Amino acid sequence: MSTLRILSGMRPTGKLHLGHYTGALENWVYLQNLLADDGSKVYETCFLIADYHILSTSLDTSEAYRNSMEMLLDWLAAGIDPQKSPVFRQSQVKEHAELFLLFSMLITSARLERNPTLKEQVRDLNMESLTYGHLGYPVLQAADILLYKGNVVPVGEDQIPHVEITREIARKFNFHFPHPTIGDVFPEPEPKITKFSRLVGLDGKAKMSKSLGNTVLLSDTPEEVFSKVRNAVTDTLKLRRNDPGRPEVCTVFSYHKRFTAQEELAMIEADCLSGALGCVDCKKRCAASISAELEPLLEKRRYYEKRMGLVEEILLDGERKAKELASHTMQEVRTAMRLG
Ligand code: SF4
């Protein structure tokens, strides 16, 4: 395989917010469209709606389909092109479950218990005990990636331990089960460290998260964006319009840094520091910058919302392509393992 393949995914939690956009989605679109000097694609990209992964923290799947479609609308609106990148649901490609089962024999529970991300989740979600499936979710992730022979995994620094588990599983499989003709069935995927731009929530205290109610959605209209940004936390010491502010501690300014053009940003910073700019005006300008970036996404989303039949076809087509790749890999796996 000459082109490197990337498999990335998200849990379907419904409509996406700005944090999803700056933290992953815009990078996915960039990688999807990246061309080499000779005009060929640098990466083959596949995007997974990780609906099985919902079950690791909740048994309520009643909204799984609706949430998957809402998320897919946001992916398409942001520029995921189904002609270039198949999009598909994990639950519709049964090979994910099959490979997960086989991989779960290649790693010890002690190794999974040492996973630092798991410890963080247990703490953040106040969990008293883990299900067997939750402990094993890095194994399911390994199956997600290796089923499509992903060679590159775009990650932030904190996700490197997961890629390491995927690499260990690939190595162990290749060592124990060499394929009679191709040798190694799986590549050892390389983490591609990406500087994600993480956005704090409107409350200024944590990252954007739907459960915390501190988000701006990609599908929010300019009026909705303004009404949310209007309530964002600013510099608590700037009490009156003409008080000098501290942009470095202000949530709104952190959004300006990402969404406002450089020249205007410098003016906003200077006027905040001198007290010439009031927070209400500043928030209006911030909301306008965010909405300007979201405008083409909104337009594209409306196009697809009126054509849900087309969106369903896109999903079915992606699932057909994913099944072909997955079935081919599983044939190699069964041959290497002398099963069946
Ligand atoms: S003027 Fe703008 S940057 Fe300064 S504290 Fe107010 S909202 Fe924040």
Residues with CB under 6 A from ligand 1: 234-235, 238, 245, 247, 250, 252-253, 272, 277, 279, 282-283
Nearest CA to 42 out of 85, 74, 93 is that of 85
Two tokens at 160? 């490197």
Maximum average pLDDT range among 55-59, 86-90, 134-138: 86-90
Confidence of residue 155 (pLDDT cuts 50, 70, 90): confident
Distance from residue 225's CA to the centre of ligand 1 (Å): 17
Q: pLDDT tens digit string along 85-124? A: 999 999 999 999 999 999 999 999 999 998 888 877 777 7
pLDDT for residue 160: 85
Maximum average pLDDT range among 46-60, 103-117, 200-214, 256-270: 256-270
Length of the chain: 340
Nearest CA to 70 out of 127, 16, 137 is that of 16
Mean pLDDT, rounded, of the chain? 94
Distance from residue 288's CA to the centre of ligand 1 (Å): 15
Which atom of ligand 1 is closest in space to residue 251's alpha carbon?
8
Q: Which of 226, 229, 235, 290 to mutate to test the pocket of ligand 1 (most atoms within 8 A of CB)?
A: 235
Average pLDDT for residues 166-188, to the nearest whole number?
Answer: 98
CB 239: neighbour CB atoms within 10 A?
8
Residue 269's Cβ-side half-sphere holds a number of Cα atoms within 13 Å equal to 13
pTM for the complete prediction? 0.94
- The secondary structure of the chain, three-state, reads CCCEEEEEEECCCCCCEHHHHHHHHHHHHHHHHCECCCCCECEEEEEEECCHHHHHCCCCCCCHHHHHHHHHHHHHHHCCCCCCCCEEEHHHCCHHHHHHHHHCCCCCHHHHHCCHHHHHHHHHCCCCCCCHHHHCHHHHHHHHHHHCCCCEEEECHHHHHHHHHHHHHHHHHHHHCCECCCECCCCCCEEEECCCCCCECCCCCCECCHHHCCCCECCCCHHHHHHHHCCCCCCCCCCCCCCCCCHHHCHHHHHHHHHCCHHHHHHHHHHHHHCCCCHHHHHHHHHHHHHHHHHHHHHHHHHHHCCHHHHHHHHHHHHHHHHHHHHHHHHHHHHHHCCC
Distance from residue 21's CA to the centre of ligand 1 (Å): 23
CA distance 166 to 183: 18
Which atom of ligand 1 is closest in space to residue 256's alpha carbon?
3
- Between 43-57, 127-141, 180-194, 228-242, the lowest mean confidence (pLDDT) is in 127-141
Q: Which of 277, 280, 285 to mutate to test the pocket of ligand 1 (most atoms within 8 A of CB)?
A: 277
Confidence of residue 264 (pLDDT cuts 50, 70, 90): very high
Q: Which of 236, 272, 285, 286 to mutate to test the pocket of ligand 1 (most atoms within 8 A of CB)?
A: 272
Q: pLDDT tens digit string along 270-323? A: 999 999 999 999 999 999 999 999 999 999 999 999 999 999 999 999 999 999
Angle ∠(296,300,303) on CA atoms, nearest 5: 145
CA distance 188 to 142: 10
- Give the residue whose CA is nearest to atom 4 of ligand 1: 272
pLDDT for residue 1: 47
The residue with greater pLDDT, 216 or 156, is 216
Distance from residue 272's CA to the centre of ligand 1 (Å): 6
pLDDT for residue 21: 95
Which atom of ligand 1 is closest in space to residue 283's alpha carbon?
7
The residue with greater pLDDT, 224 or 124, is 224
Q: What domains sit in the chain, N to C, each tagged with a CATH number?
A: 4-199+308-337 (3.40.50.620), 220-303 (1.10.240.10)
CA distance 9 to 137: 13
Angle ∠(206,208,210) on CA atoms, nearest 5: 115
Distance from residue 245's CA to the centre of ligand 1 (Å): 6
Which atom of ligand 1 is closest in space to residue 282's alpha carbon?
2
- Give the residue whose CA is nearest to atom 6 of ligand 1: 279
Average pLDDT for residues 201-207, to the nearest whole number?
Answer: 89
Alpha carbon distances (Å) from 94 to 10, 60, 149, 298, 320: 18, 20, 16, 34, 12
pLDDT for residue 337: 98
pLDDT at residue 196 above 70?
no
pLDDT at residue 195 above 70?
no
